[in-house]
Amino acid sequence: MKIALAQLNYHIGNFENNTKHIIENIALAKAKGADIVVFAELAICGYPPRDFLEFEDFISQCDAAAHEIAKHCAEIACIVGLPIKNPILAGKDLYNAAYFIENGEIKAITKKALLPTYDVFDEYRYFEPNTAFQCIDFKGKRIALTICEDLWNINDNPLYVSCPMDELIKQSPDLMINIAASPFNYRHDEDRIQVLSDNAKKYQLPLFYVNQVGAQTEIIFDGGSLVFDETGEVKAEMKYFEEDLQVFDLEEVQNVKNKYPAAERVTDIAQIHDALILGIQDYFKKSGFTKAVLGLSGGIDSAVVCALACRALGAENVMAVLMPSKYSSDHSVNDALDLVNNIGCKHEIIEIKEAANAFDAMLAKPFAGLAPNLTEENIQARCRGIILMAMSNKFGYILLNTSNKSECAVGYGTLYGDMCGAIGVIGDVYKMQVFELARYINKDGEIIPENTIVKPPSAELRPDQKDSDSLPEYDILDKVLFEHIELQKGSKAIIEQGFDENLVNRILKMVTQAEFKRYQTPPILRVSPKAFGMGRRMPIVGKYHP
């Protein structure tokens, strides 16, 4: 039996395009000699559809699309994911399901049993868990079909009380197929391979796993579909961050060594780079926009975002706005201009001194007798925000936010100023990782000026200002933040690792106090195991301090 894995980029709710794309790949798989082609979890509607699932018309369009797809399954079968109605009144109204289609008919339906409700997942909000399991017979082989999380209950600390494969194995299947919507983070590919390999070894069956690719607002899917033999050995690893369709012969997977090539393994920073490129591209393409604007300060954060945007959208579609203040150094402006010249994007220079002075004059009476402080710094940042939003409104640009994760974590940013934007490009990238990204972007030649990389970070909102005036050094700050945010450790556990007690308490207090700011930031492209946004939900007025 020849099995095609179709790793595609879907668009949530775009039934016409999703259906057309699936049908095109059915034809492609058929032309390549496949007996069955496998598509991803909720492929018909896109993942995650969230509250679209509460609209009856949305479910009806999924069903109509599935029946249109079925018409094209002549001389080839397919497996495709979609939400379906639960006919039983008790319980949730829907199942997360997969259709097995053969000879134009829906021959079998598999429903997802294990519904994740952690991090970015919220499936039990919508779906009823499956409790009945049945293998699928096709061309003399018995298929144990599961959906994503159904294979993830195999570690030392299981989240669920049952395993679908423990039931399906009783029916003596010949192979496993798992369809998934498994989001990217730079640590997830190795975990994914290990979990799937453990399943193949435990049940002593070959495993065919298909993931989707593409970004849906902040969530990025990296593809990397996989094939394992019954010993758990990886026999094939498909492309990352791009669409792919490959056909595998079941007998060769079981018996032939080195038949199918594996994808090249790359560094974490290379993965983050590719993920952010894809995230930017899909945010614009799926939103119907083509042009971006950002504030370019001469600092490393905006330089990296500008470089990524130019790679994702084309330099001709990126507008960099330099907005020097009376405190901006000449080298900052020159560094920004060097980047513009290196990369070839459009740019404007709009000084904010007049605007900031105007606000100072307007507020002179109520502020009389009070010394300048953070207020005047924030006014400058908000002047820049007004300019960028004006450029966005006038020319139809989408504003890219350039705040990094370290800043987001401790609230080192100005609401309605440098924190504004439609999408946060590096809001899940710590400052030290931003430096690594800059070096990676420059690996084939200088794009980001060397001075931008090596000079001390500064907001340049007061004389001789440096980030280190307000924050711990980034190499220490990022380590503490990682322990707290990604590893969910409180102050006591972090201090026990040797970090200074006062420093840890100060950092964690800043994280807690900045929660109200993060509620008002744009969606952030998710590249880490724990990103700000839908995957990290904290109360704003909570009393508890970790």
CA atoms within 13 A on the CB side of 282: 25
Determine phi and psi for 178, rounding to 5 degrees: -125, 125
Give the residue among 492, 517, 487 at the shortest CA–CA distance from 504. Answer: 492
The pLDDT value given to residue 372: 92
Q: Give the Cα separation of 530 and 546 in Å (integer).
A: 17
Annotate 392-451 with three-state secondary structure.
Answer: HHHHCCEEEECCCHHHHHHCCCCCCCCCCCCEECCCCCCHHHHHHHHHHHCCCCCCCCHH
Residue positions forming the annotated binding site for deamido-NAD(+): 378, 407, 517
Same fold, 2-262 and 271-467: no
Does the structural domain 271-467 have CATH classification 2.60.120.200?
Answer: no
The answer to whether residues 311 and 273 touch, using CB atoms and an 8 Å cutoff, is no
pLDDT 10s per residue in the chain (546 long)? 999 999 999 999 999 999 999 999 999 999 999 999 999 999 999 999 999 999 999 999 999 999 999 999 999 999 999 999 999 999 999 999 999 999 999 999 999 999 999 999 999 999 999 999 999 999 999 999 999 999 999 977 788 988 999 999 999 999 999 999 999 999 999 999 999 999 999 999 999 999 999 999 999 999 999 999 999 999 999 999 999 999 999 999 988 887 887 777 799 999 999 999 999 999 999 999 999 999 999 999 999 999 999 999 999 999 999 999 888 777 889 999 999 999 999 999 999 999 999 999 999 999 999 999 999 999 999 999 999 999 999 999 999 999 999 999 999 999 999 999 999 999 999 999 999 999 999 999 999 999 999 988 776 666 777 777 778 999 999 999 999 999 999 999 999 999 999 999 999 999 999 999 999 999 999 999 999 999 999 999 988 888
Could you state, in order of their start, the residue ranges of all structural domains in the chain? 2-262, 271-467
Residue positions forming the annotated binding site for ATP: 295-302, 402
Q: Are strands 292-295 and 318-322 parallel, antiparallel or unpaired?
A: parallel
Residue positions forming the annotated binding site: 118, 182, 295-302, 378, 402, 407, 517
pTM score above 0.85: yes
The pLDDT value given to residue 542: 87
Instruction: Please state, as a whole number, how many other Cβ atoms lie within 10 Å of the Cβ of residue 281.
Output: 18
Give the residue among 246, 112, 245, 250 at the shortest CA–CA distance from 173. Answer: 250
The pLDDT value given to residue 328: 74
Q: Are strands 318-322 and 346-349 parallel, antiparallel or unpaired?
A: parallel
Quote the tokens at residue 319. Answer: 């507008």
Residue positions forming the annotated binding site for L-glutamine: 118, 182
Q: Give the Cα separation of 205 and 463 in Å (integer).
A: 66
Q: Give the Cα separation of 493 and 307 in Å (integer).
A: 38
Kindly report the CATH class assigned to 2-262.
Answer: alpha beta
Determine phi and psi for 18, rounding to 5 degrees: -60, -45
The pLDDT value given to residue 459: 64
C-alpha dihedral, 336 to 337 to 338 to 342, nearest 10°? 100
Q: Give the Cα separation of 484 and 472 in Å (integer).
A: 15
Determine phi and psi for 88, rounding to 5 degrees: -90, 130
Residue 326 to residues 330, 377, 511: CA-CA distances in angstroms? 10, 11, 30
pLDDT in tens, 99-158: 999 999 999 999 999 999 999 999 999 999 999 999 999 999 999 999 999 999 997 778
Q: What sign does the dihedral 342-347-349-355 (CA atoms) show?
A: negative
Q: What residues act catalytically?
A: 41, 112, 148
pLDDT in tens, 6-50: 999 999 999 999 999 999 999 999 999 999 999 999 999 999 999
Strands laid side by side in the 244-249 sheet: 105-111, 94-102, 77-85, 36-38, 2-7, 244-249
Give DSSP secondary structure letters for 315-376. GGGEEEEE---TT--HHHHHHHHHHHHHH--EEEE---HHHHHHHHHHTTTTTTTPPP-HHH
